Amino acid sequence: MRPAALLLAVLLLVPACSAPAPPARRAVPTRRVVRFDASSDFGRVLVVEEQGIRYLRFGAPGAEDQSAFDPARPDHEPLAYVRASLASLAYLPPRARVLMVGLGGGSFLRHARSLGPDLALEAVEVNPVVITAARRHLGLADRLGVTVHLGDGRRFLEAGGAAYDLIFLDAYDDVDYPRALGTREFFAAVRRRLSPAGVVIANLSPNHDARRADLVRTFRAAFPAGPCLSTPDAGNTLVLGGPAVDALPEAAIPARLRALDRRSGARYQLAAAWPRWCRFSLDGARVLTDATEARP
């Protein structure tokens, strides 16, 4: 037998040995740093930093993210629902007046300023500790020119005053929300504070399907028509309505969104994501009223 053939025969008779498995990769734990932790009349308020991004959370360091801010990239927005909500700016004229009910970390207003340098930006927030956290740790700098009113959002709207071209209702979360901000009477008060060409957007995000459907049904009692956007991964539901939505043809919105994308360098991808239609049923949903929802 030739040497080459002998070698081949030996190799065929030797049991195959599998290569040693690579060592298992250990999961790298997320490094969590608490930047801010203070009690308030409404519970514990925290700013927690994980992998360089700061999150506003209520109650505990591992609670749901209310806002997010990347100090290394302040123009980046980590939360999908905030990016999606910026589509509401497509309805606005220049030098519009904007009110946010529920400040959070002020992310929406921070990005709105970059997209609309001539906008008049305001917020109403009931918790002074949240305002402090936003200013110290979440990018709500004085240079943004945001006027923050300390007080109850519903009372602020019902007190009357100037009309707003955009009202963003962002006082809801996936577990609970102030019941007084989810009734037919409240949404009617919101409508009264809109300008004749105004738009309202509400982040109605409870994960409980029946409660979410009730909120959307109640919102539609005041604002019958308008887009409903969703962020499937995060579970947010964003509904829009108001005179601007009624008057502006839906076909005109994509061009306006493309203009906003050009202004922002396409960092929000608004045109590509429009519309994200909500896909849930309102069958059996109730219209919530002050009589059925206990006011604080």
Residue 275's closest CA among 221, 239, 223, 234?
A: 239
Which tokens sit at 170? 């962002």
Which residues are CB-neighbours of 168 under 8 A, at least 6 positions away? 85, 88, 98, 99, 100, 101, 108, 200, 201, 202, 203
Which residues are CB-neighbours of 78 under 8 A, at least 6 positions away? 53, 68, 70
Contact of 232 with 182, CB cutoff 8 Å: no
CA 128 to chain CA mean position, Å = 21
Whether the link from the prior residue into 23 is cis, omega within 30° of 0, is no
Which tokens sit at 191? 């409508």
Which residues are CB-neighbours of 254 under 8 A, at least 6 positions away? 271, 274
Contact of 129 with 40, CB cutoff 8 Å: yes
**Would you give the end-to-end CA distance of the chain in angstroms?**
97
Rounded-to-integer distance, Cα 50 and Cα 227, Å: 34
Residues with catalytic roles: 170
Residue 182's closest CA among 227, 235, 221, 224?
A: 221
